[in-house]
Amino acid sequence: MNLTSIQDIKQSFEKNNYIADDKLATALQLVLALQKPLLVEGPAGVGKTACAKVLADVLETQLIRLQCYEGLDTSTALYEWNYPKQMLHIRLTENVGESVAQREAEIFSEGFLLRRPLLEAISASDKPPVLLIDEVDRADEEFEAFLLELLGEFQVTIPELGTIKAKHKPLVILTSNRIRELSDALRRRCLYLWQNYPSFDKEVAILKTKLPDISGRLSAQICQVMIKLRELHFNKVPGVAESLDWAAALVALHKGELDMRIVDETLGCILKDREDWEMFAVHRDEVAMTLNEAISS
């Protein structure tokens, strides 16, 4: 699909049940035009990962995801040799009469290479894939430094095979929940977008898009309560993902309107930490006041 304008991007995303605002649509338009990575930072559960998934769907291309974590190394992210297959090949060809050099060349060929997400992304032959490097802030600084070279050149050298350079640069989306601060060097190589909690109107639109059967009254009440909850100092502040979980639960329970009894009974859809439940109990009256205002409006 040819996404030539911000409006094209917004409409295409909406068709895929994702509400994209002007800032996100502009950032994605620049990713397509400049072929630069986009670093999307923001709280957990606001749609950073889903953005990359929808972009791949809209462009009808492959989504390749690298989930980052502490201790992630280059072999896991880039490539490994299929050691069991190599050993089996060596045993099966012991009596063939090949030289050591011939056998070594065979087992270090493409057929024995395990392509991990980063190598897979730069090896795509038909059209650029979307490469999602998810939660890059969870990876170690050493791995982040390795990414700098890859994102700068979009090529990698495998000693046994030589240099593999991308025929089509992947469209790269990096996400971060700001668990640790990323380096200036990585930031300079990327476009940047801060994706915060949505406004009231945008969150209502998200609920209606994802859950067409939800009533306007219920969706408005949910969003008013969520805005209040995000003002409180929870360990795990509920994001849009929790709003959707809660709304889906209320629809499944055939609820057309909120009250505090229902809030108490479905609290596990929103808050998923024992200390946060205790914090909610302290501020329950404030939440009740917000809900009453939403009901009466």
Using only C-alpha atoms, the chain has a radius of gyration, in whole angstroms, of 24
Q: How far is CA 285 from the centre of its chain?
A: 35
Mean per-residue pLDDT for 282-291? 93
- Single-letter code of the amino acid located at 147: L
Q: What pLDDT does residue 97 have?
A: 66
Residue in 213, 77, 49 with CA at minimum distance from that of residue 143: 77
Taking alpha carbons only, the member of 47, 63, 62 closest to residue 13 is 47
Q: Give me the pLDDT at residue 188, please.
A: 92
Distance from C-alpha of 173 to C-alpha of 36, rounded to nearest angstrom: 9
What tokens appear for 36 in the block?
A: 């630069």
Region 194-213 average pLDDT: 94
Who wins on pLDDT, 145 or 27? 27
Class (C level, CATH) for 6-78+116-194: alpha beta
Report the pLDDT averaged over residues 161-179.
89
Residue-wise pLDDT tens digits, 18-43: 999 999 999 999 999 999 999 999 99
How far is the C-alpha of 207 from the C-alpha of 240, rounded, in Å?
Answer: 9
Among 105, 128, 108, which residue's Cα sits nearest to residue 55? 128
* Phi, psi (deg, nearest 5) at residue 59: -85, -5
Q: Maximum CA pair distance of the chain? A: 87
How high is the mean pLDDT of the chain? Answer: 90
- Using the predicted structure, report yes or no on whether residue 149 has a pLDDT greater than 90: no
Spans of all domains in the chain: 6-78+116-194, 200-296
Q: Which of 205, 190, 204 is nearest to 13 (CA)?
A: 205
Question: Range with the lowest mean pLDDT among 42-51, 117-126, 274-283?
Answer: 117-126
Question: Which residues neighbour 228 within 8 Å (Cβ) at sequence distance 6 or greater?
Answer: 286, 287, 290
Pinpoint the alpha helices (H) of 35-140: 48-59, 74-77, 83-92, 100-107, 117-122
Structure confidence at residue 52 (pLDDT): 96
| Buried/exposed 81-103: b ≥16 CB within 10 Å, e otherwise | eeeeebeebeeeeeeeeeeeeeb
Two tokens, residue 49: 């990962």
Q: Give yes or no for a contact between 243 and 223, defined as CB atoms under 8 angstroms apart.
A: yes
Is the CB of residue 112 less than 8 Å from the CB of residue 126? Answer: no
Decide if 243 contacts 207 (C-beta within 8 A): yes
Q: Among 10-19, 108-117, 263-272, which is the least confidently predicted range? A: 108-117
The closest of 33, 34, 24, 39 to 147, measured between CA atoms, is 39
- Return the SS3 of 20: coil
Greatest mean pLDDT among 19-28, 124-133, 143-152 lies in 19-28
**pTM (two decimals):** 0.87
Inform me whether the pLDDT recorded for 133 exceeds 70: yes
Residue 75 tokens, joined: 């072999």
Q: pLDDT at position 100, please?
A: 67
Kindly tell me if the per-residue pLDDT of 228 is higher than 90: yes
- Does 92 have pLDDT greater than 80? no
pLDDT at position 8, please? 93
Query: How does residue 276 score in pLDDT terms, banded at 50, 70 and 90?
Result: very high
Per-residue confidence (pLDDT) for residue 87, from 0 to 100: 83
Mean pLDDT across the stretch 98-125? 78
The pLDDT of residue 91 is: 79
Q: Is the dihedral of CA 82, 84, 87, 89 positive or negative?
A: negative
